[in-house]
A and B are shown apart, each in its own frame.
Chain A
Amino acid sequence: MSREQFPQLFNAQPIDLAAIPQLSIEQFREEVIGAHDDLSRISALFGVRRNNETVQLFAVLADDEQGKLIPFSTFVGKSYPAVAPECPQVHLFEREIFEQLGVVPEGHPWLKPVRFTMPDYSAQKASTPPATAPVIGQTSFFFMQGEEVHEVAVGPVHAGVIEPGHFRFQCHGENVYHLEISLGYQHRGIEKRLVGGPHKRTAFQMETIAGDTSVGHTLTYSMAIEALSGLHVSARAQAIRGIALELERLANHIGDLGALAGDVGYLSTASMCGAIRGDFLNMTALICGSRLGRSLVRPGGVLFDLEPQRAAELQKRLPKALEEVTQAVQLLWESSSVLSRFETTGRLSLDQAHDIGLVGPAARACGVLQDVRHDFPSGIYQLFHIPASTAGTGDVYSRAFVRWLEIQRSVAFIQELLESLPSGEIAALESPSLAPNKFVAALTEGWRGEICHVAITDAAGKFVRYKVVDPSFHNWFALALCLRGQAISDFPLCNKSFNLSYCGFDL
Chain B
Amino acid sequence: MYSNLKARIRQGRRTIKFPPAFSTLPNRFRGLPQIDSNKCPADCRACVEACPTDAIHVDLFDQKRQLQIDLGKCLFCVECQRACPEESLRFTNDYRLAARNRADLIFSDQGIRLADALSKEIRRVFSRSLKLRQVSAGGCNGCEVDINVLGTTVYDIGRFGIQIVASPRHADALVVTGPVSENMRIALLKTYEAAPPPKLVIAVGACAVSGGPFRDHAETHNGVDGLLPVDLYIPGCPPHPLSVLDGLLRMIGRIK
Contacts and interface: CB of A to CB of B under 8 A. Distances in A.
Interface stretch (A8-16, A25-33, A322-330, A387-395): A322-330
13 contacts: A157-B135, A164-B184, A187-B183, A200-B52, A205-B213, A208-B212, A209-B140, A212-B140, A286-B26, A292-B145, A294-B77, A304-B28, A324-B10
Interface string A36-47: 000000000000
Contacts of A272: 7, 11
Interface stretch (A49-57, A274-282, A396-404, A461-469): A274-282
Contact of B136 (A159, A162, A190, A330): A162
Contacts of B187: 156-157, 164, 185
Nearest to A117: B219
Interface stretch (B33-41, B103-111, B146-154, B248-256): B146-154
Contacts of B75: 204, 294
A268 B11 CA distance: 11
Nearest to B149: A278
Interface string B181-222: 111101100010000000000000001000011100111100
B139 A289 contact: no
Contacts of B149: 274, 277-278
Contacts of A416: none
B179 A188 contact: yes
Given A136-B183, A208-B207, A211-B144, 9 more contacts: A163-B144, A188-B217, A189-B218, A204-B75, A208-B142, A211-B139, A255-B145, A268-B7, A286-B26
Interface in A102-138: 115-117, 136
Given A211-B145, A275-B152, A278-B149, A201 B28 contact: no
A161 to B, nearest CB: 4
Contacts of A255: 145
B164 interface: yes
B154 A212 contact: no
Contacts of B182: 187
B227 to A, nearest CB: 15
A426 interface: no
Interface of A: 115-117, 136, 156-157, 159-164, 184-190, 192-193, 200-201, 203-205, 207-212, 214, 255, 268, 271-272, 274-275, 277-278, 282, 285-292, 294-295, 303-304, 324, 327-328, 330-331, 334, 501-503, 506
B139 A274 contact: no
Contacts of B26: 282, 285-286, 289
Query: Which bracket fits the contact residues of B?
Result: 35 or more
Interface string B126-140: 000000001111111
A212 B217 contact: no
A336 to B, nearest CB: 12
Contacts of B146: 291-292
A211 B143 CA distance: 8
A186 B154 contact: no
A161 B240 CA distance: 16
B213 A278 contact: no
A116 B187 CA distance: 15
B3 interface: yes
A204 B77 contact: yes
A184 B183 contact: yes
A294 B237 contact: yes
A76 to B, nearest CB: 26
Contacts of A304: 28
A209 B140 CA distance: 6
Nearest to B49: A200
